[in-house]
Structure 1
Amino acid sequence: MMTTISKDNQVTTLINVFTVEPENQQRLVEMLIEATEKTMKHLPGFISANIHKSSDGVRVTNYAQWRTGEDFEAMQKNPEATAHMKPIMEIAKFDAHLYEVVESLSVG
C-alpha cells in the first residue's frame, strides 16, 4: 500500500519528529530507511513510512501510517524493531505522537 492522506482513510498516523546534530542528519535518515526496509514494513499493520529531513539539518520527520494504534503499539514491543531503535536513540531525541486525519485540502 502507499500513503493516502484522507479523512476517510481509517488508519492511525504516526508523526515522529527527531532532533539531531547536523552531522548526524543523513545518518539518521539512512538508519530509519534501513529499519523500515528490514523490519517495520514486514510487521502486521504497517502501511507506509515517509522520511523527511529539514533544510536546517537538525530535524528528521517520519510520517508513517499503521492500520491501528494497537498495531503501532505491538511494533514498539517487537524485539527486532526495538533493536533498530536503540542506536537511533543514541544520536537523536524524538517527539512521537499518533494522529487521525481530520481534513485534507488541495487545489481543485
Structure 2
Amino acid sequence: MLEIAPDRDVQTVITTFEVTPGTCDDLLDELREAVANHIRHQRGFVAAALHVNDARTRVANYSQWRTREDFMAMLRGPDMRARHRRLHDLCRGFEPVMYEIADTFSK
C-alpha cells in the first residue's frame, strides 16, 4: 500500500519524464505495462503511482522500495534495460531520484 509518512521504512523514488502531449499517453501505457507486469513483482517493491500534469508535458512516477539495493537491482536487470530504451524513444529524458521522506502534512 502506498503510504507517505516519515516513519515508514521505505526508499522513495520519484522519476520525472519530459514528454509532448502527443507521446504522453504512449509513455503512460508503457509505464503501466512495466509496473503491472514486471516492476511490481521485483524484490523490495512496495507501491507506485503515476501522475501527469494538465498540459500533458510531464509524467511523474512515485514509487516506494524496501531498500536502495532492491531498486538498483530492478534498474540493472535485462528487462528494465530494454524498457529504458523504449522509454527514451517516447520522451525527451527522464531521471529517477531517490528521496527520504522528511515530513508530511495533512489537514
Q: Give 1:27-38 correspondences, 5 Å limit.
A: 27-38=26-37
Q: Give 1:5-84 correspondences, 5 Å limit.
A: 5-84=4-83
Q: 1:82: Cα distance to partner?
A: 1.9
Aligned to 1:97: 97
Residues 26 and 90, structure 2, Cα contact 8 Å, conserved in 1: no
Q: 1:100: Cα distance to partner?
A: 0.6
Q: TM-score, normalised by structure 2?
A: 0.95
Identity in percent: 35
Whole-angstrom CA distance in 1 between matches of 2:95 and 2:41: 24
Whole-angstrom CA distance in 2 between matches of 1:72 and 1:25: 24
Deviations along 1:8-38, one digit per CA (max 9) or x if unpaired, are 0010000011001110001111110000011
Deviations along 1:26-82, one digit per CA (max 9) or x if unpaired, are 111111000001110111001111001110110000000011111111011111122
Q: 1:106: Cα distance to partner?
A: 0.3
Out of 61-70 and 75-84, give the one that drifted further.
75-84
Q: 1:84: Cα distance to partner?
A: 1.9
**Where do 5+ consecutive residues of structure 1 fail to align?**
none
Q: 1:83: Cα distance to partner?
A: 2.0
Whole-angstrom CA distance in 2 between matches of 1:41 and 1:83: 17
Whole-angstrom CA distance in 1 between matches of 2:45 and 2:83: 16
Whole-angstrom CA distance in 1 between matches of 2:100 and 2:17: 20
Q: TM-score, normalised by structure 1?
A: 0.94
